[in-house]
Amino acid sequence: MLNERPAPVAGDLGALPADVFDRVAAGYGDAAAVGLLADAELAVNRALVSEILGETAAGGELLAELERAAPAAFDAVLSHPFVRSWAVACLEGKDAEPDRAAAIAAAVAVRAGADADVQVHAHDGLIHLPTVGVFAAPAEQVRVTAGRSSVVLRWPGGRAELPAGDRQIPGWHACRWVSLDGVRVLLDDADPYRDRLEFADPAWLDADGERAWAARLAATWERLAADAPAQLDGLRGGLRAIVPLAAAPDGTPRGATSRHAFGAVGLSPTADPGEAALLLVREFQLTKIGAVLDLIDLVPEDAVSERLAVGWHDDPRPVEAALRGAYAHLAVADVWRHRALSTGDPASRGVYRRYRDWTAEAIDTLLTGDRLTEAGTRFTRRMAATLDEWSHQARAS
């Protein structure tokens, strides 16, 4: 039938509408497409947390109540990137801290202004309430009592009321937030599971550090409008947190992501908005393809152990790593393409061609033989179509 919609692209854990799959595979993805990836990742987080709650009663009953009573606050906390990092660590038995579920429940209650009273266990001397803040606990257990107008922390021999606004109290470090073109993004310097991003800076930001990061990110976002305009909408739909990374000894800019922290991007401080914009686009590209891979197998099991030569790495890479790298370099090439078009700079044109050629060579290798599933082949051909479109545009100009 003429009006029949294409079948969704499906995998073992979920599916994506065909047009959304294709838009993301092309290297872009608007806010609606990336929003669907974010919804799928939230569903993964919910399932993982539910599995942990089946093994521990800490905070479980309260979380179930809040899911019904305050669904928006519940989703806001459960979609925090490092909730999944914590859940995966628990289920894999690595740094297992299932009682952090109580802290997640407390965070939902605080954000919702809901009445709640929950005992939270300190880890490494800290009580961390995801997306809310962290408290240097004077005791191993702290009782969090939340309500519509106040949040009180109690422990044997002491109490503290969490401040509103910018007011400070000893031991409390509120989460830092920045507004990027109207999008509220967490500047995450406190979540204990942010160390899943390589080189995450262990230090908390002070007020000056927060202002410096806010200014850098604002300049970076402004640069994105020129360098990667087609990526901005997707970033608005999926970027959840920026994690400050420790600067490299030689000053080389760093970026980082984790497969188990959708929407979190690590960046090292740099005074060059262009460098930061390039890193942000590259790392967010890895976040997007990671979300697709959570739902849909792009590489068959019998190709997992194969390794492929790629232009950007000295050693052969596993097939999935080669696919992920090609997808990231597609976005990097696009940034340099825009720079070359806007400035006419031969050096920018040369960098663009290098990344374009690396991507094209990897695509050709990936499409050879049976290295990809049917969905993986479709994904990679959409990447190739983007390169072809750029070539057509260049010939037409």
Report the DSSP beta bridge partners of residue 78: none
Q: Is 131 left (phi over 0), alpha (psi -120 to 50) or beta?
A: left
Report the DSSP beta bridge partners of residue 307: 318
User: Mapping DSSP to helix (H, G, I), strand (E, B) and coil, where does residue 389 land?
Assistant: helix
Tens digits of pLDDT across the chain (397 residues): 445 567 888 777 778 999 999 999 999 999 999 999 999 999 999 999 999 887 666 678 899 999 999 999 999 999 999 999 999 999 998 777 889 999 999 999 999 999 999 999 999 999 999 999 999 999 999 999 999 989 999 999 999 999 876 677 899 999 999 999 889 999 999 999 999 999 999 999 999 999 999 999 999 999 999 999 999 999 999 999 999 999 999 989 999 999 999 999 999 999 999 999 999 999 999 999 999 999 999 999 999 889 999 999 999 999 999 999 999 999 999 999 999 999 999 999 999 999 999 999 999 999 999 999 999 999 999 999 999 999 988 888 6
Environment class of residue 358 by beta-carbon count within 10 Å: exposed (0-12), middle (13-18) or buried (19+)?
buried
Environment class of residue 347 by beta-carbon count within 10 Å: exposed (0-12), middle (13-18) or buried (19+)?
exposed
User: Mapping DSSP to helix (H, G, I), strand (E, B) and coil, where does residue 302 land?
Assistant: helix
Q: Give pLDDT tens digits for 64-113.
A: 999 999 999 999 999 999 999 999 999 998 777 889 999 999 999 999 99
